[in-house]
Structure formats: C-alpha cells, structure tokens
C-alpha cells in the first residue's frame, strides 16, 4: 500500500528535501513503505541539474535552491500543489523512461477529470495546455501554456521529488525565471483556465488517477 500524506500550510523546501531523502533511504532499506506526499511551498525557485544561469531572470526575488533532481529552473509557491513521489522502482520495474511516462499520464488523467486536455511535447518537459484563443508566437507557432512540471531523482531505484500542478498560484511569480528553460510559451493554472477547483478537489482527483495509472 502507498501511504498518502497531505501537509497543510506551507512546507519549507529544505525541510521537504530532508523528509524525502530520509523516506527514500528507508524505502530502499526495506524499513518503510512507498509514499506520495502533497505539500505547498512558500515562494521559491529551484534549480535542477540542467539549469542555465541565464534562465534565472530575477535572482534576488525569491530564495533559490540548488537541487539534484532532473530539469532546469522551476517555481514553487502557494496555490501550487507539489506532489512528491517516493516509489520503489525495484518492484515497479527499473525503467526510468516508463516511470516518467507514467507520471505524465497520471497528470493528464487527473486534468481530464476537470475536462482539461493536457498534452506532452517532445523536448519540452511537463504537461501543456493548448491556448488557441491566444495570439500565436511570432513564428506562427500556436500558443501553449504549461500547467504541470515534472522532475525526479532516483537513489537505489527509489524515486523522490516529483511533479507540481498549478491550481491557483500567482502566475506573475514565474516571470523571475525561464520556466524549465522554455521561452515563448507561458504558464497557466486550473483557475486561470476558468475552473474554480480547490486544492482538495485536485488531491481527490490525483488519488483516483494514481490508482488507475500505477496499477498496471
């Protein structure tokens, strides 16, 4: 059984990393079960292993944390659900590509419960929502906004870090970075798309979709 934990309020980033690393180590040692942990953070930026310094546009705006997860710069803050996944790939198949695809499908299936069509794009990490009502980019490319980011790390084939989904964050806070190194396209949220979804609504949808996605 996977333990689901929801922490109310705002969780400090360094505290979260410490909890994740301890739990992942205990899972690898056979001393604890898998866990999905749902939190919110105070406003901050994180730099993944592929982060480019030039993509940090406002280094003094919020605290910046170096992290050893994959990916580039991301924003976390109130109104964004951060989903930390501590899952044992020793028992789920040691296939990183499949695991990332499962995370993507999990997010897409969760959004589908709110009638939002999320999509993935080659070379662009995360889950995207087409925005045909917005003007295209200067080269004519249709606009797409990012609604969820994905970045994981594995240690002894146990995952930690995970995904983040925008429910109702201050989208202006993303302006201090080039999110995931992708310029041109923007970011969106469930509320920005016109849906009065609460964090509790999303949490319920995540749990339903998790069972369907990871039961295979």
Is pTM beyond 0.85 here? yes
Q: Tell me whether residue 70 is annotated as binding.
A: yes
Between vectors from CA 214 to CA 209 and to CA 189, what angle results, nearest 5°?
40
pLDDT given for residue 125 in this prediction: 78
Distance CA 134, CA 138 (A): 12
180 is a catalytic site residue: yes
Report which DSSP code applies to 54. Answer: G
pLDDT of residue 181: 55
d(CA 166, CA 141): 23
Residues 71-83 have pLDDT tens digits of 788 999 999 999 9
Contact by Cβ (8 Å): 84, 37: yes
Sequence-separated contacts (24+) of 67-71 with Cβ below 8 Å? 67/17, 67/151, 67/161, 68/153, 69/151, 69/152, 69/153, 69/161, 70/151, 70/152, 70/153, 71/125, 71/149, 71/150, 71/151, 71/180
Q: Which domain holds residue 137?
A: 3-214
pLDDT tier for residue 89 given thresholds of 50, 70 and 90? very high
User: Domains in the chain: how many in total?
Assistant: 1
Q: Is 71 annotated as a binding residue?
A: yes
CA angle centred on 101, ends 201 and 134, rounded to 5°: 65
Section 39-49 average pLDDT: 94
List, for residues 112-162, the tens digit of each pLDDT value. Answer: 999 999 999 887 778 999 998 888 888 888 889 999 999 999 999 999 999
Q: Is 73 annotated as a binding residue?
A: yes
Residue 180: pLDDT band with limits 50, 70, 90:
low
Of residues 179 and 172, the one with the higher pLDDT is 172
Determine whether the annotation assigns residue 72 to a binding site: yes
**How far is C-alpha 88 from the geometric centre of its chain's CA atoms?**
19
What CATH number is attached to the domain comprising 126? Answer: 3.30.930.10
According to the 3-state scheme, what is the secondary structure of 163-196?
EEEECCCCHHHHHHECHHHCCCCEECCCCCCCCC
Indicate the average pLDDT of the chain. Answer: 92
Say what the pLDDT of residue 161 is: 95
Q: Is 164 annotated as a binding residue?
A: yes
Q: Which of 85, 87, 177, 180 is catalytic?
A: 180
Six token digits for residue 100: 């990332």
């Amino acid at each position: 059984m996977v333990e689901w934990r929801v922490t109310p309020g705002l969780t400090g980033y360094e505290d979260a990393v410490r909890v994740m690393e301890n739990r992942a180590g205990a899972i690898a040692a056979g001393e604890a079960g898998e866990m999905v942990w749902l939190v919110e953070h105070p406003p901050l930026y994180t730099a993944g292993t592929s982060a480019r310094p030039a993509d940090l546009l406002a280094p003094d705006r919020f605290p910046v944390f170096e992290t050893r997860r994959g990916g580039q710069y991301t924003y976390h803050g109130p109104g964004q659900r951060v989903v930390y996944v501590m899952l044992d790939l020793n028992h789920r198949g040691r296939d990183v590509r499949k695991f990332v695809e499962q995370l993507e499908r999990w997010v897409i299936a969760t959004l589908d419960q709110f009638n939002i069509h999320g999509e993935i794009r080659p070379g662009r990490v995360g889950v995207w929502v087409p925005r045909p009502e917005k003007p295209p980019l200067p080269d004519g490319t249709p606009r797409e906004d990012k609604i969820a980011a994905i970045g994981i790390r594995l240690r002894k084939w146990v995952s930690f870090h995970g995904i983040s989904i925008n429910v109702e964050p201050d989208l202006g806070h993303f302006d201090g970075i080039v999110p995931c190194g992708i310029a041109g396209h923007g970011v969106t949220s469930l509320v920005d798309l016109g849906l009065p979804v609460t964090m509790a609504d999303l949490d319920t949808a995540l749990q339903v979709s998790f069972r369907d996605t990871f039961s295979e």
